[in-house]
Amino acid sequence: SNGTFLPSPSVLEAADYAVIGVYFVFIIAVGLWAMFKTDRSNVNGFFLAGRDITWFPIGASIFSSNIGSGSFVGLAGSGAAGGIAVGAYEWNAMLCLYFLGWIFAPIYISSAVVTLPEYLRKRFGGERIQMYMSVLSLFLYIFTKVSSDLFAGAIFIREALGWNIYLAIIALLAITAIFTVTGGLAAVIYTDTVQTFIMIIGAIIMMVLSFIRVGGYEGLETSYMQAIPALRPANTSCGIPRADSFHVFRDPIDSDLPWPGLTFGLTIIATWYFCTDQVLAQRTLAAKNLSHAKGGCVAAGLMKILPMYMMVMVGMISRVVFTDSVGCAIPSECQRYCGASGGCTNVAYPKLVLEIMPVGLKGLLLAVMIAALMSSLTSVFNSASTLFTCDLWQKIRKNASERELMIVGRVFMLFMVGVSIAWVPIVQSFANGQLFDYIQSITSYLGPPIMVIFAMGIFWPRLNEPGAFWSLMVGLVTGSTRMIMDFAYGTPLCGQDEYRPAVLYKVHYLYFAIILAAITAIAAVVVSLLTPPIPKNKLFRLTWYSRFSRKKIQEDEEMISKGKKSKKRGGKKTNLNNNSSVSEQTEKPMWKKALDLFCGLDKKQEKQNEPSIQPNFMENIVEKKHSALLVNLACLLMMCVMVFLFAYYA
């Protein structure tokens, strides 16, 4: 216990390893089943699971793509450090999932897009907005989602197994890459569904045992407020729990999460995250129809009630159990306990798991963490390769074949893996030991302008391409300036004097998100009104008011039928191609055939000449009466639950 910090040796026993082994066998079996169940030889099958997924897998996949290992470590860590307010992030998601299902998804589905940057290209014309959005999204995935989840998963494995953090990361990535690179979105969604069950069951067992340890919720209220470490700086409040630890709504000026920021700023960031980001919106695009997309959003929203209890409060209990280590307030002490001078709240969750879970269940919880990590990583890798392949590669190579697109998508995932590993040390050093704050602050500097352009694009037909593009640029410059200043100055440790400029510590990042959204909106209005509008006939099925339009559908159908006729006319040529590809197929060596089968590239080539993504004429956004009534009632229930939770914990 004295001297420098060393990772603990493995604390798992044979039964724990057996549980983890069974988990991996099961997940790989589900992944393989999903892989061979769907046609992965074309863009629609690989990236959108053939648009044939029902509501529950969609809901489970949204939930588990959103709750990664970063959430377990980050939410529990923020709970240990500052109380329950951070749980409001999870409940706010219910409102944003309503926006996704009822406002954004109908537009995306009716416009028949595969990626959200593609929607922007159709809505505004031109390609620069689409390119900008794709590049920015890929940047954000690497810097927020992938690296923070990897870091969190590795913390957990280091605590449990005593492995080196990089060895742990490479092992996790190898397993994750196998699925996503070969299986496409269907494999991701079905494995996510299984992971969600494992995650919720394991986390609930953990939660029950944790609450028993401190004597229930009332026991937590008293013991958390007394969880003050023995060693702490004199004449400061360092190490003392916040007086408002059990309030969700906090002081608007001086608190860590001011209530106006939480109400408005957070809604802006969360709407960007849930409604205009490829990872979560792609799930709704894979739905059978709009009712299933909405049902998935409600299912995910109701699951979002749980993280407050499963993660945030469990992190608070960890501080009660390990007051001196998790609650450490002196940099040298923190360095000794967990190797990070900024604080040890990141280890709150894994430390408690190893303390209170019986043999066998420790293995289950480690499997839960790996499940959380893998489900969010597989989702991000699939979405990132969708963006790269459909938005960027097709611009570089206009006539790329279906097979080339499939291979490029998979190679790009491997590239993402490498970049993500390289970024981990930076995440490690940032955010003062609080992972969740790192993720939230970056997204609040870069996300709001995108949300504003999507929302205005849907509801304000007058918004045109110059207005959208230049307001995005203004937003990018403003947000990046603040982000660079944040990185450059860092955050003073507890007890240190404030040395940052006032704009950094007086304007909370949630307030900054509101200001940034307002600046973007004003710029968009001014530039749009000074430049010519987009003709009405170019906006069919692309805005809220034209989403049911039939005129454009008829034009598209005529185009496709003309295309089919012209193909028939050139029939001989097509057959020639097919024959040559079939003869190639027969001449392939055995290993090559096996590889193609595993990667889903062996499907007969007759499809080569079909358009890769057939416009999905969304009669599907016209819902059946009973289905619509059912999902609307379920949504009403979700909204009532959200209002009750906020009111009760305010």
- Percent of the chain scoring above 90 in pLDDT: 30
pLDDT band at 607 (very low <50, low <70, confident <90, very high): very low
- Cα angle for residues 332, 422, 417 (degrees, 5° grid): 130
Decide if 594 is inside a domain.
no
Q: How far apart are CA 123 and CA 127, in angstroms?
A: 11
Average pLDDT over residues 388-417: 82
The pLDDT of residue 551 is: 64
* Residue 311 covered by a domain: yes
Backbone dihedral angles phi then psi of residue 258, each to the nearest 5 degrees: -65, 140
pLDDT at 419 over 60: yes
Both tokens of residue 389? 């392949």
Q: Are 444 and 273 in contact (CB under 8 A)?
A: no
Separation between Cα atoms, residue 169 and residue 463, nearest integer Å: 44
- Report the distance separating Cα 243 and Cα 346, nearest Å: 21
Q: Is residue 585 part of a domain?
A: no
- End-to-end C-alpha distance for the chain, whole angstroms: 40
CB atoms within 10 A of CB 417: 21
3-state secondary structure of 53: strand
Please report where in the chains the tokens 């496709």 appear, as a residue: 560
pLDDT tens-digit series, residues 260-280: 999 999 999 999 999 998 888
Measured distance CA(598)–CA(32) in Å, rounded = 9
SS3 readout for 246-299: CCCCECCCCCCCEHHHHHHHHHHHHHHHHHCCHHHHHHHHCECCHHHHHHHHHH
Instruction: Say which residue, 108 or 380, is predicted with more confidence.
Output: 108
Of residues 533 and 256, which shows the higher confidence score?
533
Most trustworthy range by pLDDT among 114-118, 145-149, 386-390, 448-452:
448-452
Dig out the tokens for 535 from the structure: 């003709």
> Between the CA atoms of 603, 606, 611 and 616, what dihedral angle is there, to the nearest 10 degrees?
-70
Beta-carbon contacts of residue 435 (< 8 Å; ≥ 6 apart): 70, 73, 74, 77, 148, 151, 152, 346, 427
Per the structure, how many domains does the chain have? Answer: 1
Give domain status of residue 217, yes or no: yes
The whole-number pLDDT of residue 165 equals 72
Q: Does 79 reside within a domain?
A: yes
Q: Who contacts 351 (Cβ-Cβ below 8 Å, separation ≥6)?
A: 159, 318, 322, 325, 326
3-state secondary structure of 189: helix
Span 20-77, pLDDT tens digits: 888 888 887 887 787 777 666 666 666 666 677 889 999 998 998 888 777 888 889 8
Q: What is the pLDDT of residue 492?
A: 76
Residue scoring higher pLDDT (558 or 296) = 296
Confidence category of residue 282, pLDDT binned at 50, 70, 90: confident
State the Cα–Cα distance between residues 273 and 65, nearest whole angstrom: 12
Residue 253: which residues within 8 A CB-CB, separation 6 or more?
Answer: none
Q: Token pair for residue 602?
A: 């062996």
Beta bridge partners of 258: 250
**CA torsion sign, 275 to 277 to 283 to 287?**
positive
**Average pLDDT across the chain, whole number:** 81
**How many Å apart are CA 454 and CA 273, to the nearest integer?**
12
pLDDT at residue 306, rounded to an integer:
93
The CATH number for 367's domain is: 1.20.1730.10
| Secondary structure element (H or E) that encloses residue 379, with its range | helix 361-387
Residue 589 maps to a domain: no
Say if residues 183 and 34 touch (Cβ distance below 8 Å): yes
Determine whether 647 is exposed, middle or buried from the number of CB atoms within 10 Å of its CB (0-12, 13-18, 19+). exposed
Give me the helices (H) in 125-164, please. Answer: 128-140, 147-161
Quick one: pLDDT at residue 344? Answer: 83
pLDDT tens digits, 174-209: 777 666 666 666 777 888 888 888 889 889 999 999
What's the token pair of residue 493? 């440790």
Question: Hey, which residues does 287 pair with through a beta bridge?
Answer: 53
Cα distance between residue 374 and residue 68, in whole Å: 8
Q: What is the pLDDT of residue 616?
A: 47
Average pLDDT of span 445-472: 95
Q: How far is CA 320 from the centre of its chain?
A: 30
pLDDT of residue 556: 55
Domain that holds residue 97: 15-230+238-550+615-649
Is 602 part of any domain? no
Per 3-state DSSP, the chain is made up of helix, strand and coil in percentages (nearest 5) of 75, 0, 25
- Taking only the tens place, the pLDDT of each residue in 542-595 is 999 888 887 655 555 555 555 555 544 444 433 333 444 444 445 667 766 666
pLDDT digits (tens, 9 = 90+) for 308-347: 999 999 999 999 999 988 888 888 888 888 777 778 888 8
DSSP codes of every residue in 612-644 = SS-----GGGS--HHHHHHHHHHHHHHHHHHHH
In a domain, 346, yes or no: yes
Closest CA relative to residue 91, chosen from 376, 303, 268, 265? 303
**Structure tokens, 271:** 């709407």
